[in-house]
Amino acid sequence: MSGPKLRILYFAWLRERIGTAEEAVALPEGVATVAGLIAWQQSRGEKFAAAFATRTIRCAVNQSFAGLDAPVAAGDEVAFFPPVTGG
């Protein structure tokens, strides 16, 4: 696969459940938004399906909070994480 990859980051319990903090993948065919990427994650087998089953996952594209409709393109850095609990 040529072209820039999608860098995907995971934090907190999402990182623990998936078992990795970071991966680089080719942009899955037909994926153009955060919602599309989540649907693809849910199709990656039991571990990913379980981790992405909840509606409470938050996302950031290129380090800015992003909603389900936000665009995702090859070369982007997309992070998935639970609602934040700092402070």
Q: Catalog residues that contact other proteins under the rule CB under 8 A.
A: 9, 11-13, 56, 60, 63-65, 79, 81-87
Least distance between other proteins and beta carbon 87 (Å): 3
What residues are paired with 28 via a beta bridge? Answer: none
> Which residue matches tokens 């994926």?
31
SS3 of 74, please? coil
**Shortest separation between residue 15's beta carbon and other proteins, angstroms:** 8
Least separation in angstroms between CB 48 and other proteins:
18
Instruction: State how beta strands 77-81 and 58-61 pair.
Output: antiparallel
By beta-carbon proximity to other proteins, the closer residue of 13 and 49 is 13
